[in-house]
Structure 1
């Protein structure tokens, strides 16, 4: 995804979505207080590339307003005892670089050294089925000959399929046709990576439950997100099981603090622990899950 793609033809579902934003610029202090209310000691957020470098490069100029915003936001977090956990790139390639180079398909954007490393690794792995066999068996339970016959693009996505032998791996979430509930998959992935990568520090950086947005139902009803609480419990339990087997998990981040824009679904799904009132100044209202999480953290 690149800057502006949410406004490209066919990539959002309505004009209303083009005019909607989450509003963290105007709700900064409120959002930090919401984190503090829930007992969060760390907050993961992204620094937008184009907000700092509108042209995509330092030579093209630095946006001081963007710098000031992030400085202020980070200072507010620290002042309230919350550690910033920064994502430097979250699918937001500056439009200027997309226009100039056609995005990451161009070799002008990745560093030359990265290109050389990738070419070298490709030569080393070419024809090495045993390398892929070891990786693939650990993650998908599917027969290896199927992967070898697939096209390269499918290598990256097939093990994310939500069905096995035609049967769903779990219940589908109400706000997405692609997300299913399968907490044991998180446990198994953590244990697998512990074995394969010498057990480094792990952070579960994005784990969330989408509900379908429906502004016609009363807000009081929308705040009763019992299914999300059940989802969080089951995934925390899965992480606990992995930790009992020695996995070095150092952090867990729910997605998301508040309802916000989602890549691919725009504003049609609600992931937030807080309800974003899109019809009333983007106000935040803690859902039942936020209150549950607060009591859970205290315990």
Structure 2
């Protein structure tokens, strides 16, 4: 196992400054980033909009999934969520007051095409997104728009088996084309898919996310991933051929990755850690940059991993203007013959994820979610890895943050004083700044999340927001200490650590 003191002494990827940060809370200011670096906040449609049966919106797979008992820990759903559908002007005003440059939102596919098929556009949905886009621009906030953040129209799942059917590529293309046509005169930064790995694994392997399938884990997650990649490539092709010259925008895709650090100097642990990264990043980026899935995935999965035609490879090649990276945490990785985790995806990796140093100390301070530990050096390593492996593409950190436990008995002022979140962002932003100095082409950072919201299978039990939402009292918004920290940070110099931190 890894000894903490040896790791920081011997690990050349960490600078003296970074090692020092392990002993304090970081020392970071706006001037540590390029002048044009984008600082934003992020949300997704199902998690914040609500208005599930208003404005012509059709049902999505999460509407169905959350209404099945036992699927969400607190029995909740996103029917109302935090009601951004009706309160977007208030939320845009908050973003502006705090001083963020950009807001990453997602569009609900079933708000544009209620059945997902693309036969008839829902004009009320077009109007809603025009309104929020225009409101952002009026305040000088750049919209970054994700086309798919997990909320597949329910009709496509019920009639086509959703991402398991190649026909979905056609329907996603129609939807993407419609969004480019209606919003692309003002939206210049598009993200086709958010975390397609989570859709594939949690939706079609372990079944903890909508649509909750786990009947054929040995094939379905890889098929879902394959079709998501083809949908992405098709949408990018449409943008390049029909819109790019006139609109001048960029299209990327957001992948998620925990950093995987070998748990020892043993060759099998080092290989296992590299394999873990291939199964996360390589699954989606290798086909785009190298024309096929990683060799280790082919070896481990064999015929279960679909193959690309030559035409598909051509469509996928270089189909990214930027890489979006969602990163929260890091793990040590050991090689094992049989993974202790559920799911074919994890078992195929023959590795174990470990959260402790050799002496038993946690890898980092734990947040509310069982999977989330504060390990700022991990984000630097992921960014540098992407830069090395994929020829230094432009990267936006499209999600990064931590959660607090919902506590109905704590007074409001305690819930608003989120000291650990302030420390988290100081240290992670310091690591992002260091990655830029290392040479990684990182162009922006989006904090997850603007608001406390519906956190998928965790419901409303976890709070990721910079802004506290009072679920008991009319969904009132209250900025937390972290929101005010960012506001001071943007004004220059006040992101520095203080004696009270």
1:55 aligned residue:
115
2:425 aligned residue:
232
User: Secondary structure at 1:87's aligned position in 2?
Assistant: strand
What's the CA shift string for 1:39-97, capped at 9, x where partnerless?
111110111111111101211x2221111110000000000000000111111111111
Structure 1 position 105, deviation (Å): 2.3
Cα 1:231/1:156, change in 2 over 3 Å: farther
1:154 aligned residue:
346
1:40 aligns with 2:100: yes
* Alpha-carbon separation, structure 2, partners of 1:262 and 1:272: 11
User: Secondary structure at 2:458's aligned position in 1?
Assistant: coil
8 Å CA contact retained: 2:113, 2:122: yes
Cα 1:248/1:180, change in 2 over 3 Å: same
RMSD: 3.2
* Alpha-carbon separation, structure 2, partners of 1:265 and 1:70: 27
1:28 aligns with 2:88: yes
2:140 aligned residue:
81
8 Å CA contact retained: 1:49, 1:88: yes
Cα 1:160/1:82, change in 2 over 3 Å: farther
1:135 aligned residue:
none
Cα 1:200/1:25, change in 2 over 3 Å: same
2:355 aligned residue:
163
Q: TM-score when scaled to structure 2?
A: 0.52
User: Secondary structure at 1:221's aligned position in 2?
Assistant: helix
1:269 aligned residue:
462
* Alpha-carbon separation, structure 1, partners of 2:438 and 2:294: 36
* Alpha-carbon separation, structure 2, partners of 1:291 and 1:123: 43
1:172 aligned residue:
366
Unaligned runs of 5+ in 1: 130-138
Q: How does 1:126-141 map to 2 (within 5 A)?
A: 126-127=298-299
Structure 1 position 29, deviation (Å): 1.1
Cα 1:164/1:193, change in 2 over 3 Å: farther
Q: How does 1:68-217 map to 2 (within 5 A)?
A: 68-110=127-169, 114=230, 121=292, 126-127=298-299, 142=333, 153-154=345-346, 161=353, 163=355, 168-173=362-367, 175-217=368-410
Cα 1:161/1:66, change in 2 over 3 Å: farther
* Alpha-carbon separation, structure 1, partners of 2:125 and 2:350: 39
Structure 1 position 23, deviation (Å): 1.0
Structure 1 position 196, deviation (Å): 0.6
* Alpha-carbon separation, structure 2, partners of 1:14 and 1:78: 37
Structure 1 position 128, deviation (Å): 9.0
Structure 1 position 109, deviation (Å): 1.8
* Alpha-carbon separation, structure 2, partners of 1:267 and 1:69: 25
What's the CA shift string for 1:108-157, capped at 9, x where partnerless?
32358939x98x9469874499xxxxxxxxx9774678599x98512787
Structure 1 position 247, deviation (Å): 0.8
Deviates more, 1:253-262 or 1:106-115: 106-115
User: Secondary structure at 1:28's aligned position in 2?
Assistant: helix
* Alpha-carbon separation, structure 2, partners of 1:157 and 1:276: 39
Q: TM-score when scaled to structure 1?
A: 0.84
* Alpha-carbon separation, structure 1, partners of 2:136 and 2:416: 26
User: Secondary structure at 2:103's aligned position in 1?
Assistant: strand
Structure 1 position 241, deviation (Å): 1.0
1:12 aligns with 2:65: no
1:133 aligned residue:
none
User: Secondary structure at 2:129's aligned position in 1?
Assistant: helix
2:263 aligned residue:
none
Cα 1:143/1:16, change in 2 over 3 Å: closer
